[in-house]
Amino acid sequence: MMRHIRRYLIAGLLIWVPIWVTLLVIRFMVDLLDKTLKLLPLSYQPDTILGVHIPGFGILFSILVVFLTGLLATNFVGHRLVALGESIVARIPLVRAIYNGVKQVLHTIFSSKTQAFRRVLLVEYPRKGLWSIAFQTGQASEKITSKTQQAMVTIFIPTTPNPTSGFLMLVPQDDTIELDMSVDEALKMVISLGVVQPGHPLDAFDLPPESEG
């Protein structure tokens, strides 16, 4: 009887834990974006108009703001305003470094020609004989390759189970092995602590057989 109870508990956990985590992440994102409504005057906020808080209005408001900003920035007047704002930011030392760094990263990620986060690599880290999943973020600059006298690539090694943190490294291109694996598959492997392997989807009801005795 205890073996049956254990199997049923595991089956239930495999159903509810992913749902619970997904809802927590969605709730966090909704709550975060709902804070953008504070940019509106109090009398124009949905909570004041409707008299009740409805989650999700912040998402719609954020999408609208981003869309209108992009629409404005792509015309002549908006382009001049953006250029004026960037010229002001360029005169503030610390702000300039942060702003330009973030902007360059976004331009690189959204560029159709970039190779950032499109190649999954296998590298020996943290020592010989131990291998880690990594994402190639780009090619090293000539200033670096001229010093190392070999082709170098920049890679990002994510931590597990939180892949948003990790390590930036420069390694010789010959020391990396490109994997026939998509970025999504690699992220699933990292987040699941290696439980979910590419080509082997996790079946919620594929439980281990009951042990005898």
Any idea what the Cα angle at residue 106 is, between residues 102 and 135, rounded to 5°? 100
Residue 1 lies in a domain: no
Residue 49 lies in a domain: no
pLDDT at position 213 is 43
Residue 90 lies in a domain: no
Report the sign of the C-alpha dihedral through residues 81, 83, 84, 88, in that order: positive
Q: Which residues sit opposite 17 in a β-bridge? A: none
Residue 18 lies in a domain: no
pTM exceeds cut of 0.85: no
Instruction: Please give the average per-residue pLDDT across 28-54, as a whole number.
Output: 81
> Quick check: 201 pLDDT over 70?
no
Instruction: Please give the average per-residue pLDDT across 40-49, as a whole number.
Output: 82
Residue 211 lies in a domain: no
> Quick check: 116 pLDDT over 80?
no
pLDDT at position 133 is 93
Q: What share of the chain is helix, strand, coil (3-state, %, to 5)?
A: 55, 15, 30
| Tens digit of each residue's pLDDT (9 = 90 or more) over 53-100 | 777 888 888 888 888 888 888 887 888 888 888 889 888 888 888 888
Residue 51 lies in a domain: no
| Tens digit of each residue's pLDDT (9 = 90 or more) over 156-184 | 999 887 787 889 999 999 999 999 988 88
Residue 124 lies in a domain: yes
Q: Which domain holds residue 169?
A: 120-191
Domain count, the chain: 1
Please give the share of the chain, as a percent, with pLDDT higher than 90: 16
The upper half-sphere exposure of residue 20, i.e. CA atoms within 13 Å in the direction of its Cβ, equals 6
Residue 164 lies in a domain: yes
